[in-house]
Amino acid sequence: MEFTEWIRGRTDEQLRALVSARPELITPVPAHLEGLASRAGSPSAIGRVLDRLDRFTLAVVETLAVQEKAISKARLRAVIGRALAEGKPEPELSAALERLRELALVYGPDSALDLAPGVRKVLDDPAGLGPPAAEAFRHHPPEQLADMADEIAPGTAGTGKERLAAALAEPGKLIEDVSGEAQAALEQLAWGPPTGRVPNARREVRVESARSPIEQLLARALLAATGEESVTLPREVGLYLRDGRIHRDLRATAPALEGAERDQKLADRTAAGQAFAFVRSVEELCERWSVDPPGVLRTGGLGVRDLKRAATDLDLPEWAAALVVEVTHAAGLIAAGGAVDGEWLPTTGYDLWRVKPTAARWVILATTWLQMDRVPGLVGARSTGARQERAGEAMPTSGEAGATIKRSDERDRPLNALHTDLRRSAAPGVRAATLGVLAAASGLAPTRDSIAERLAWEQPRRRGALREQLMEFALREAEQVGVTGLGVLSGHARALRDGLDAAAVLDPLLPEPVDHVLLQADLTAVAPGPLTSELNRWMTLTADIESKGGATVYRFSEPSVRRALDAGHGAEELLAMLARHSATPVPQALSYLVADVARRHGRMRVGTASAYIRCDDPALLDQITADRRAAQLRLRRLAPTVIASRSSRAILVDSLRAMGYAPVAESLDGDVIISQLDSRRTEGIAPVRSVASATGLDSGVAAAAVRALRAGDAAHLARRDPVEAPDGQVPRGPATATISALQEAIRQGVRVWIGYLDSQGNATSRILEPARMEGGYLTAYDETRAAVHRFALHRITGVAGL
> Contact 530/280 with Cβ under 8 angstroms?
yes
| Domain of residue 774, CATH code | 2.30.30.100
In a domain, 104, yes or no: yes
- Could you tell me if 763 and 735 lie in one domain? yes
> pLDDT tens digits, residue range 437-452?
999 988 899 999 999 9
Q: Measured between alpha carbons, how far is 470 from 542 in angstroms, rounded to an integer?
A: 41
pLDDT of 383: 47
pLDDT at 628: 86
The pLDDT of residue 266: 94
pLDDT tens figures, 127-186: 999 999 888 888 888 888 888 888 888 878 888 888 888 888 899 999 999 999 999 999
CA–CA gap between residue 75 and residue 114 (Å, rounded): 12
Over 70: is that where the pLDDT of 495 sits? Answer: yes
Domain count, the chain: 6
Quick one: average pLDDT of 720-740? 76
Same domain? For 271 and 212 the reply is no
Domain membership flag for residue 246: no
Q: Each residue of 426-452: b (16+ CB within 10 Å) or e? A: bbbbbbbbbbebbeebeebbbeeebbb
Burial of 472 (0-12, 13-18, 19+ CB in 10 A): middle
Q: Is the pTM of this model over 0.75?
A: no
Distance CA 212, CA 230 (A): 16
How many C-beta neighbours within 10 Å does residue 86 have?
9
Question: Does the pLDDT of residue 407 top 80, yes or no?
Answer: no
Q: Are residues 270 and 408 in the same domain?
A: yes
Kindly state whether residues 323 and 385 are assigned to the same domain: yes
Cα 796 to Cα 665: distance, rounded to the nearest angstrom: 75
Q: Tell me, what's the pLDDT at 404?
A: 34
Is there a single domain that holds both residue 380 and residue 492? yes
Instruction: Evaluate whether residue 692 is within a structural domain.
Output: no
Mean pLDDT, rounded, for 205-225: 89
Contacts with 159 (C-beta within 8 Å, 6 or more apart), sequence order = 142, 145, 146
What is the predicted pLDDT for the residue at 669?
66
**Residue 28, preceding peptide bond in cis (omega within 30° of 0):** yes
| Cβ–Cβ < 8 Å for 45, 25 | yes
Query: What average pLDDT is seen over the chain?
Result: 85
Q: How confident is the model at residue 496 (pLDDT cuts 50, 70, 90)?
A: very high
pLDDT score, position 685? 59
Percentage of residues of the chain with pLDDT beyond 70: 90
Compute the average pLDDT of residues 459-468.
84
- Contact between residue 602 and residue 672 where contact means Cβ atoms under 8 Å apart: yes
Please give the backbone phi and psi of residue 88, each rounded to the nearest 5 degrees, phi first: -115, 160
Same domain, 345 and 484: yes
Helix locations, 682-765, DSSP H = 699-717, 735-748
Domain annotation covers residue 682:
no
- CATH number, domain of 32, equals 1.10.10.10
* Residue 389: pLDDT band with limits 50, 70, 90: very low
CB atoms within 10 A of CB 24: 15
- Does 118 share its domain with 171? no
Residues 375 and 443 in one domain: yes
Q: Is residue 690 part of a domain?
A: no
Among 85, 106, 124, residue at a domain's last position? 124
Last residue of a domain, one of 463, 478, 509: 509
* Segment 352-367 mean pLDDT: 93
Mean pLDDT, range 39-64, rounded to an integer: 93
Query: Using CA of residue 108, residue 113, residue 116, residue 117, what is the dihedral sign?
Result: negative
Which of 366, 365, 328, 363 minimizes the C-alpha distance to 347?
328
| 685 in any annotated domain | no
pLDDT, tens digit (0-9, with 9 covering 90-100), for 677-710: 445 667 665 555 443 344 456 778 888 888 888 8
Q: Which of 189, 172, 246 is nearest to 223 (CA)?
A: 189
Distance CA 43, CA 307 (A): 44
169 and 34, same domain (yes or no): no
User: What digits encode the pLDDT tens for the residues 620-667?
Assistant: 888 888 888 888 888 888 888 888 887 888 888 888 888 888 888 887
CB 796 within 8 A of CB 780: no
CA dihedral 177, 181, 186, 191 (to 10 degrees): 140
Asked whether residue 218 is domain-assigned, the answer is yes
326 and 377, same domain (yes or no): yes
Domain that includes residue 97, residue range? 3-124
697 within some domain: no
CA 128 to chain centre: 30
**Where would I find the beta strands (DSSP E) of 642-762?**
642-645, 664-665, 752-757
Q: What is residue 677's predicted lDDT score, i.e. its pLDDT?
A: 47
**Nearest to 289, CA basis, from 366, 342, 214:** 342
Could you tell me where the beta strands, DSSP code E, fall in 280-342?
A: 334-337
pLDDT-derived band at 762 (thresholds 50, 70, 90) equals: confident
Residue 393 is predicted with a pLDDT of: 37
Greater model confidence, 430 or 600: 430
- The string of DSSP codes covering 162-175 is HHHHHHHTSTHHHH
Q: Using a pLDDT cut of 90, give the percent of the chain over it.
A: 38
Q: Decide which of 492, 509, 526 is a domain's last residue.
A: 509
With beta carbons less than 8 A apart as the criterion, state whether 196 and 206 touch. no
Q: Are 452 and 254 in contact (CB under 8 A)?
A: no
Strand 796-801 relative to strand 787-792: parallel, antiparallel, unpaired? unpaired
**Nearest alpha-carbon partner for 419 in 428, 411, 408:** 408
Q: Are 214 and 310 in the same domain?
A: no
Note whether 281 and 353 are same-domain residues: yes
pLDDT band at 272 (very low <50, low <70, confident <90, very high): very high
